[in-house]
Amino acid sequence: MAVDCRTRKCVALTFDDGPAPVTGRLLDTLAAHRVRATFFLVGENVERYPEIVAREAREGHELANHSYSHPNLRRPSERAVRRQLRRTQEVIRRVTGVTPTLMRPPYGATDKGVAAITRELGLAQVLWSVDPLDWRVRDKRNVARVVSHEARKGAIVLMHDIHPSTVAAVPRIIERLSRKGYFFVTVSELFGGPLVPGKIYTDR
Q: Which residues are catalytic?
A: 16, 160
Cis omega (within 30 of 0) on the bond before 50? no
- The answer to whether 46 and 89 have CB atoms below 8 angstroms apart is no
Please give the single-letter amino acid code of residue 117: I
Torsion on CA atoms 73, 71, 141, 146, rounded to nearest 10: -10
d(CA 80, CA 88): 12
Q: How many CA atoms does the CB half-sphere of 77 hold within 13 Å?
A: 3
Q: Crossing angle for the helix pair 112-121 and 78-96, nearest 10 degrees?
A: 40
Q: Estimate to the nearest angstrom the gap between the alpha carbon of 80 and the chain centroid.
A: 22
